[in-house]
Amino acid sequence: MFEGLFQPTHLIIIAGIALLIFGPKKLPELGKGLGESIRGFKSAMAAKDEPAPAKATHAPEHTEQR
C-alpha cells in the first residue's frame, strides 16, 4: 500500500531522531518557522504569477519654485 521512499516506519524513525536531536521544546518552534517560510514562498510565487500593475503613461509635472 505505502510503496516508495517514505513508508510509515521511516517517518516514525525520522520523527524520533528529530525529537532526540532538537528536544520537545524546540520542535514546535521549528515547525512554526518552517510553516512561515513555506507560506512566504507560496505568496512570493503567487505574486510572481500576477501581472504587474500598469505604469503611468504621462510624465510627472515639474513645478519651478523661485
What would the pLDDT profile of 22-58 be if each residue is shown by its tens digit?
A: 888 888 898 899 899 999 999 998 887 776 666 656 5
Residue 19 makes CB contacts below 8 A (sequence gap 6+) with 27
Q: Does residue 2 register a pLDDT over 60?
A: no
- Asked whether 2 and 8 are in contact (CB, 8 A), the reply is yes
Q: Which residue has the cell 512570493?
A: 44
Residue 24: predicted pLDDT: 86
Q: Does residue 13 register a pLDDT over 60?
A: yes
CA distance 53 to 44: 16
Instruction: Please state the rounded mean pLDDT for residues 11-26.
Output: 89
Under DSSP, is residue 15 helix (H, G, I), strand (E, B) or coil? helix
Q: Does residue 1 register a pLDDT over 60?
A: no
